[in-house]
Amino acid sequence: MTESIGILTAGGDSPGLNAALRAVGKAAIGTYGMNLIGFRDGFRGLMENRTVRLDSGQLSGILTIGGTILGTSRDKPTKMPVGGKTLDMTDLMVDNYHKHHLDVLVCLGGGGTARNAYSLMQKGINVITLPKTIDNDVVCTDVTFGFDTALTIATESIDRLHSTAHSHHRIIVVEIMGHNTGWLALGAGVSGGADVILIPEIPYDTDIVAEAILQRFRKGAGFSIVAVSEGAMSTELFQRLQSAQQKLAKAENKKERKKLNEEVAAIEAERLRSTPILTQELEKRTRLESRVTILGHVQRGGVPSPADRLLATRLGTACVDFIREGRFGIMVAARGDGVEAVPLENVIGSRKNIPPDHPWLKTARNLGICLGDK
């Protein structure tokens, strides 16, 4: 029987999504004669039954295009905004899945997408996910597609900031994406020659960072580059957040939980504003002119790198092989030069943080880069 595949892209856009769509489509249609139906704008498109039949013509010429031709959204099947309310719409999605006589739903996304796909799997849908995110924080895979492109953009940005930092004898603080992990900031910081790298996995002491910069100044270095992950936080903020989260876990009544949830949300909001505050503190403590550059969404845009195109293509074609084998409820993970089918239950609920003994951290320390902790 000819298989029918549904496919969607969910979560934040990421370089390599179109390469993965193309790979799934070309392998499914050209090699096995399968049908491919795309759902627009992620899980919302599945709920609203907004589809496009993907054929060879529509998949042609998209390998090098950034973003996703299907569109995306962050809507969750179990918490979907509908008519001013937040509803569980999984049953409607299951109905639409069966209306199209689909054999499998392929979901391209990060950790959140894997959780959403798993919730649909529990309703009886066959699902397979492919790991994409510039944050590289999906567990059970060596790397996610989108990461290499973002790493290249962030590194090139640091390269460009060196000249203005040197010319004006400034501290340049550059904020790099990564959500709650430091893969992008650490990789770009080491590759771009940053003098300080601050990541979520290592809460930083502002005094230690300031002293490291002053030591460079005393040795004749008239500028410093500080690479900061957007999720990095000071030790003081980290301790406040940890304390509030511990109290929340022990809270026994609804009123207390609500208050503590609001406290955690306030601390998280403060965390998002911490880079400009850090920049001001460094200028105050070092008396050196300091400027902040927030790279933002530029890291997610543009042409995907050759490495991301290759990875997305490998995972996409392997996905079709797993479909032919009838293997569902899995994430197609990168493992060395090959792939591995990882059960979705092993993926959800976890995040791939940088371990304290990771070689990149050792490299940074051996280079004399300050990580804010000593």
Instruction: Give tens-digit pLDDT for 151-178.
Output: 999 999 999 999 988 888 899 999 999 9
Cα–Cα distance between 372 and 351 in angstroms, integer?
23
Domain residue limits at 267: 151-300
Say whether both 294 and 157 belong to one domain.
yes
Q: Which CATH number covers residue 235?
A: 3.40.50.460
Of 8, 28, 109, the closest CA to residue 322 belongs to 28
Q: State mean pLDDT over 275-300.
A: 95
Reduced DSSP (H G I as helix, E B as strand, rest coil) percent helix, strand, coil of the chain, to 5: 45, 20, 35
Q: State mean pLDDT over 92-106.
A: 97
Domain assignment present for residue 352? The answer is: no
Domain assignment present for residue 10? The answer is: yes
What confidence category does residue 362 fall into, taking pLDDT thresholds of 50, 70 and 90? Answer: very high
Domain count, the chain: 2
Query: For residue 363, how many C-alpha atoms fall within 13 Å in the half-sphere facing its CB?
Result: 11
How high does pLDDT run on average in the chain?
Answer: 95
Task: Report whether 81 contacts 75 (CB < 8 A).
Answer: yes
pLDDT of 364 over the 70 cut:
yes
Say whether both 117 and 71 belong to one domain.
yes
Q: What's the DSSP call for residue 335?
A: E
Joined together, the tokens standing for residue 327 give: 């293997």
Q: State mean pLDDT over 258-275.
A: 91
- Which has more pLDDT, 9 or 168? 9
Joined together, the tokens standing for residue 46 give: 């599945």
Torsion of the alpha carbons at 261, 264, 266 and 269, rounded to the nearest 10: -120
pLDDT of 1 over the 60 cut:
no
Q: Please report the pLDDT score of residue 2 as a whole number.
A: 60
Domain assignment present for residue 360? The answer is: no
- Catalytic residues, by residue number, are 135
251 phi and psi angles, rounded to 5 deg: -60, 135
**Local structure of 359: helix, strand or coil:** helix
**Local structure of 362: helix, strand or coil:** helix
Say whether both 287 and 156 belong to one domain.
yes
What confidence category does residue 141 fall into, taking pLDDT thresholds of 50, 70 and 90? Answer: very high
Say whether both 226 and 342 belong to one domain.
no
Say whether both 89 and 230 belong to one domain.
no
Joined together, the tokens standing for residue 109 give: 């996304």
Q: Which CATH number covers residue 314?
A: 3.40.50.450
Question: CB within 8 A of 196, min separation 6: which ones?
Answer: 189, 209, 212, 213, 224, 225, 226, 227, 369, 370, 371, 372
pLDDT of 43 over the 70 cut:
yes
Task: Report whether 17 contacts 9 (CB < 8 A).
Answer: yes
Give percent of the chain above pLDDT 90.
89
Q: Please report the pLDDT score of residue 243 as a whole number.
A: 92
DSSP string, 207-256: HHHHHHHHHHHHTT---EEEEEETT--BHHHHHHHHHHHHHHHH--SHHH
